[in-house]
Structure 1
């Protein structure tokens, strides 16, 4: 028997329950992991509340990221043995392969031996944020040293990963955050400029920073009214990559900036990278090399024990964190 987290109805954090269940031995091509730490993501809160792109049958497990020790391996698994320290790449379906548990089963193809220098908390904070940022900025936008990139929701784990990746390739990251409360922390995290969207003229500040060239790349999980000032400051031929929909307000289509500047507005899910073996291998190599060299370093906002999973989800939805929320098991 092992403890797992499940929910029997959609709702707020309080619907999460810790239950004891038998965990089956891994099937062919799978490994079973004794979990040491979990990384929390907004997708899990969306699944729990019934607003995610995947619709679970209830009761359902959840969770996209974990790190721990391989406890058992199934047939036809090569390259892993019991005792290996590993982290998991987010599955396409967290309903099929939920990560919130003391023991979890994952396909071996979704498991990575991370650098030994990483703590369990850091290892559980790697793959969702860095794969999301890598896929958008490097695989799709081809961000380079002459680029300026706008990163909204910049204090999130993905936002901080995007700042690190931008700096790694020599681009100039502009962090957009709601208020100035996190300005100094974002500058210390590597942002070249910080804009407080609730306190400043976003389009005006972006134009002031970028000059006549404008912004070529925008990386946004918010949508809503911010689309208009973002596109107003973009360069001709620029690309806005949208990977979320955090704003409760309608998202206007900025017709005239899109037409006059030949802009690309591009929807993006990290599943594009995870589901393409060639692209995933390239992303893994980049991320693992950069973690080993210290060029990429996960930022941990706060750590909760497994027994406080409800409180961890409440903190996730309070939007107070700077970086990744981790649960230790």
Structure 2
């Protein structure tokens, strides 16, 4: 028996329950982890509330990221053994392989022996944010030295990962946040410029920063009315990569900007990197190299004990965090 988190109905954080459940032994090609830390993601709040791309059968578990020692391995697993310290690459289904629990089972292909310099909390805060940012900026947009990239929702864990990756490859990171409350923190973190979208004219400010060069890459999880000022400031042949849809307002199609500048508007989910072994291996190499060099350093906003999973989800939905929320087990 082990404690796991499940929900029996869709709703707010209060529907999450800690229950004692039997956890099956790992099947062929799987490993079971004694979880020490969990990384929280907005996808889990969406699943819990019934608004995620995956539809669970209730009651359901949830969770995409974990770190801890391997407790047991299934048949056919040769390169991992009990006691190995690992972290989890988000699986394609958190309903099939939920992370929130004292014990959790994952495909062996989705776990990585994490660098010994990382503690459990930092290890649980690695893969979703860095894989998401890497896939968009490096794999798809080919971001490089001299490029300018706009990063909206910049104080989120993915936004901060994107700033670090931009700096790692010599690009200029322009952070967009709602208010100036986090401006100094973003500058201190490494953003070259910060724009407060509710306090400044976003289009005018981006054009002022970019000058005639314009902005080649935009990385956005919000959508909605922000599309028009973002695309207005982009350079000819630029690419806007959309990986969210947080805005409750309709997203206009900026037809004139797209036509006149031959822009690419690209929908993106991290699953396309995770599902492709060659692209995933390239991503893992890039991220592990960045962690080893110190160019990539997970930022933890706040930690909660496992018993406070409801409070952790409430904090997740405040949008007040600067970095990743981690739950310790």
Q: Do Structure 1 and Structure 2 share a fold, with TM-score over 0.5?
A: yes
Residue in 2 that maps onto 1:292: 292
Whole-Å separation in 2 of the counterparts to 1:318 and 1:198 = 17
Aligned pairs for 1:41-52 (under 5 A) are 41-52=41-52
Q: Displacement of 1:322 after TM fit?
A: 0.2
Cα distance in 1 for residues equivalent to 2:216 and 2:146? 10
SS at match of 2:219: strand
Q: In the aligned structure 2, how far is the partner of 1:216 from the partner of 1:24?
A: 49
Cα offsets for 1:221-277 (capped at 9, x unmatched): 000000000000000000000000000000000010001000000000000100000
Give per-residue Cα distances to partners, 1:21-55, cap 9 Å, x unaligned: 01111111100000000000000000000000000
Q: Distance in 2 between matches of 1:211 and 1:290?
A: 30
Once residues 116 and 59 of structure 2 are traced to their aligned partners in structure 1, the CA distance between those partners, rounded to angstroms, is 36
What's 2:242 paired with?
A: 242
Q: Distance in 2 between matches of 1:289 and 1:5?
A: 34
* Residues in 2 aligned to 1:310 and 1:256: alpha-carbon distance in whole angstroms: 45
Distance 2:213 2:187 in 1: 23
**Within 5 Å, which residues of 2 pair with 1:208-287?**
208-287=208-287
- Normalising to structure 1: TM-score of the pair? 1.00
Matched, 1:145 2:148: no
Q: Which residue does the alignment assign to 1:181?
A: 181
TM superposition score normalised by structure 2: 1.00
Map of 2:312 onto structure 1? 312
Which runs of structure 1 show a deviation greater than 3 angstroms over 4 or more consecutive aligned residues? none
Distance 1:188 1:59 in 2: 43
SS at match of 1:285: helix
Counterpart of 1:115 in structure 2 is 115
Equivalent residue, structure 1, for 2:26 = 26
Could you say which residue in structure 2 is the equivalent of 1:160? 160
What is the alpha-carbon distance in structure 2 between the residues aligned to residue 286 and residue 211 of structure 1?
Answer: 31
Q: Secondary structure at the match of 1:136?
A: helix
Distance 2:195 2:328 in 1: 34
| Aligned match of 2:53 | 53
Q: CA RMSD in A?
A: 0.4
Q: How far is 1:79 from its partner?
A: 1.0
Partner of 1:193: 193
1:146 CA drift (Å):
1.3
Aligned to 1:324: 324
Say whether residues 1:35 and 2:35 are aligned partners.
yes
Instruction: Tell me the matched-pair count.
Output: 329
Q: Which residue of 1 aligns with 2:131?
A: 131
In 2: Cα distance, 1:163 partner to 1:294 partner: 14
SS of equivalent to 1:93: coil
- Whole-angstrom distance in 2 between the partners of 1:37 and 1:182: 27
Matched residue, 2:8: 8
Q: Quote the Cα distance in structure 2 between the aligned partners of 1:309 and 1:95.
A: 18
Q: Does 1:97 align with 2:97?
A: yes
SS of the equivalent of 2:36 reads strand
Q: CA deviation at 1:289?
A: 1.1
Consecutive unaligned residues of structure 1, counting only runs of 5 or more, are none
C-alpha displacement of 1:203: 0.5
Structure 2: stretches of 5+ with no match in the other structure = none
SS at structure 2 position matched to 1:46: helix
